[in-house]
Amino acid sequence: MSARFTQYLRHEANHLWQASFEHPFVCELAAGSLPENKFRHYVRNDSYYLKEFAKVQSLAAAKATDLNTIARLAAHAKATVEAEHALHETFFKLLHVSPEEPFTPAPTTYRYTSHLHTVAHTGTFAEIIGVMLPCYWLYWEIGERYKQAKPNHPIYNQWIATYGQEWYGQLVQEQLDRLDGLADTASDEERRRIRLHFMISSQYEYEFWDMAYRLERWRF
């Protein structure tokens, strides 16, 4: 079961992932035609998301039971804070965004991060890995799919290059292997919950592109 569990999840979510691959935000970014105001909205929301994601990675480390896993998940949280957030700081400069500028996350961003935190606080260790996995995995597949793209845009070139790099693929594979191993000892009910969390996160990943493309904001 374990060797096939993540592939089962990937198959179940395929229609959602295909929708992400084909979303105008992703396609226009790869083509270099995405309006910068939409990417700016994405970056500001993603910066907020990454801070919350690092907290969820840290909560996963707190629920791990062996020292190596604790150390690895702490390293993942550190990588999120240092590598990916540094990338967004670069984008902030290129897009003339001030970190001090008041910001409220869009409704989709708020709902997605709330979903992650709910599972992190109430779920098992395996459930936390499952709820985080689409963020890792989908971006890696996008990086692989579009790594030959030539947007000819300094920001979009850098964004695509980041997720196609070997170091990022190694982080994804580590989490895939971890969840497959956890599935070995999980009950049918726990696997059902992991699937549900994975599917919800996969839908939110699609909605995140849509949020950015539509410049989604609160109605108040």
Q: Annotated catalytic sites, by residue? A: 135, 205
Residue pointed to by tokens 């909560």: 59
Compute the C-alpha angle 214/33/161, nearest 5°: 100
Helices (H), 83-187: 85-94, 107-122, 125-146, 154-163, 166-185
CA distance 102 to 47: 13
Question: Are 49 and 113 spatial neighbours (Cβ–Cβ below 8 Å)?
Answer: yes
Look up residue 97 and give its DSSP letter. -
Look up residue 1 and give its DSSP letter. -
CA distance 71 to 33: 41
- The number of beta carbons lying within 10 Å of the beta carbon of residue 113 is 21
- 36 burial (CB, 10 Å; 0-12 / 13-18 / 19+) is middle
